């Protein structure tokens, strides 16, 4: 067995926890039963969890944006070292070329830094290392072209040195080193920046399944003022948008859009309507939002998708956040929705993005009308 593919239990891991959850780190380290924790750069921590599987398991996983087994650590000061790029690239080739990673991606330990030094160094290191890994296939700009289940060589670089490991994008919880990246919205409308949140969610989803097809009809709950709506429309989707508050006037005549003013709890889809996906970004109590989603999920096509923003207003401790997550996902499971995955997106602050799937078809029963090729009703 390749020792790199299966990290030993004592292996150190690089994990990323968003700055907004910095206060939660000591509790999470306790839950991981890690004897040590070293902070690196911005939002990164080196830990040694008693059971590495715990990183991708609840209750800890909700806070771990991204994780990587450290197969190669080189604590050093790259800035004050001669020939850093060549030495680092040669070491990577020696250690990892035989494992044939699908690609090699270099990220920054402090991506928030405005200093371009490490950005340039990362690009030089990737360029030189790729000359030594001739079989590596995926271009850096096409991160979504990676096989989510095949190992990628991820490297993180910064003032503290170079930290690398081989892990699949799905196991690491993101295509990029460090997770998802802020994905700019397609639409030029400046209605709200929430459009970037759904763009990032659809990018992240590709780790697990393809996004709904361009003909899809979305039911959006909590749509006002319409940042996400405009992003979905810009991708060619049809949208039924429900909110107590109005949408931005620029969306008034948007093709493919139907707006329903009022409470999601009392929205009744026209008879026979089936949606490909539900997007819920309602604020208020998370269990109330899930109740509305579950009632309307009966109008989802078999295997349909639910993207649900888990709002945590009024919840601050690690335990309470984990309890809220457990309560909402249990409620969803009882209502027939399977949790596919969850993450904390770059755009999320004190909230998480959860992905559920509706039950797949029972082919023994005839299917009623689907709305995929019709206009929103």
Ligand X SMILES: C[S@@+](CC[C@H](N)C(=O)[O-])C[C@H]1O[C@@H](n2cnc3c(N)ncnc32)[C@H](O)[C@@H]1O
Chain residues in the site for ligand X (CB under 6 A): 192, 194, 222-228, 242-245, 263-265, 281-284
Judge whether 105 and 86 are in contact, CB under 8 Å.
no
Minimum distance, C-beta of residue 282 to ligand X, in the bound complex (Å)? 4
Minimum distance, C-beta of residue 196 to ligand X, in the bound complex (Å)? 10
Q: What is the DSSP letter of 54?
A: G
Cβ proximity to ligand X, 41 vs 376, nearer residue = 376
Cβ proximity to ligand X, 224 vs 321, nearer residue = 224
Cα(37)–Cα(254) distance, rounded to whole angstroms?
51
Cβ proximity to ligand X, 276 vs 281, nearer residue = 281
Residues 6+ apart with CB under 8 A from 164: 70, 71, 72, 73, 92, 96, 153, 154, 155, 156
Cβ proximity to ligand X, 7 vs 227, nearer residue = 227
Minimum distance, C-beta of residue 237 to ligand X, in the bound complex (Å)? 14
Cβ proximity to ligand X, 193 vs 367, nearer residue = 193
Cα(17)–Cα(27) distance, rounded to whole angstroms?
12
Q: Which of 279, 304, 275 has the alpha carbon at shortest distance from 293?
A: 279
Cα(190)–Cα(68) distance, rounded to whole angstroms?
36
Minimum distance, C-beta of residue 259 to ligand X, in the bound complex (Å)? 12
Q: φ and ψ at 211, to 5 degrees?
A: -65, 165
Minimum distance, C-beta of residue 375 to ligand X, in the bound complex (Å)? 22
Distances (CA, A) of 270 to 273, 274, 331, 369, 377: 6, 9, 26, 12, 7
Cα(104)–Cα(146) distance, rounded to whole angstroms?
11
Minimum distance, C-beta of residue 312 to ligand X, in the bound complex (Å)? 13
Cβ proximity to ligand X, 175 vs 308, nearer residue = 308
């Amino acid at each position: 067995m390749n020792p790199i593919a299966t990290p030993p239990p004592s292996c150190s891991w690089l994990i990323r926890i968003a700055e907004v959850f910095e206060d939660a780190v000591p509790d999470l380290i306790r839950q991981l039963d890690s004897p040590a924790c070293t902070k690196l750069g911005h939002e990164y921590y080196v830990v040694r969890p008693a059971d590495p599987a715990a990183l991708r398991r609840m209750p800890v996983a909700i806070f771990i944006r991204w994780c990587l087994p450290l197969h190669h650590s080189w604590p050093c000061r790259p800035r004050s070292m001669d020939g850093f790029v060549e030495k680092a690239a040669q070491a990577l080739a020696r250690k990892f070329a035989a494992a044939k990673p699908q690609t090699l991606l270099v990220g920054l330990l402090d991506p928030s830094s405005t200093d371009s030094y490490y950005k340039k160094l990362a690009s030089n290191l990737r360029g030189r290392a790729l000359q030594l890994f001739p079989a590596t296939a995926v271009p850096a700009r096409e991160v979504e072209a990676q096989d989510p289940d095949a190992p990628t060589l991820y490297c993180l670089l910064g003032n503290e040195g170079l930290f690398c490991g081989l892990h699949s994008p799905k196991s690491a919880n993101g295509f990029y080193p460090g997770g998802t990246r802020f994905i700019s919205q397609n639409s030029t409308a400046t209605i709200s920046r929430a459009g970037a949140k759904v763009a990032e969610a659809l990018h992240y989803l590709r780790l697990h399944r393809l996004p709904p097809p361009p003909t899809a009809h979305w039911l959006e709950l909590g749509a006002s003022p319409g940042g996400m709506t405009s992003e979905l429309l810009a991708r060619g989707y049809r949208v039924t948008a429900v909110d107590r508050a109005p949408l931005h006037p620029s969306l008034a005549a948007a093709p493919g859009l139907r707006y329903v003013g009022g409470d999601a709890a009392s929205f009744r889809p026209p008879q026979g309507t089936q949606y490909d996906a539900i997007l819920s970004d309602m604020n208020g109590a998370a269990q109330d939002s899930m109740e509305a989603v579950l009632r309307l999920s009966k109008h989802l096509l078999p295997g349909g998708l639910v993207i649900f923003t888990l709002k945590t207003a009024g919840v601050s401790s690690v335990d309470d956040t984990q309890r809220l997550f457990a309560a909402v996902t249990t409620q969803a499971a009882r209502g027939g929705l399977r949790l596919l995955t969850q993450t904390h997106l770059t755009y999320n602050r004190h909230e998480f993005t959860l992905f559920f799937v509706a039950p797949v078809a029972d082919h023994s029963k005839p299917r009623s009308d689907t709305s995929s090729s019709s206009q929103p009703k």
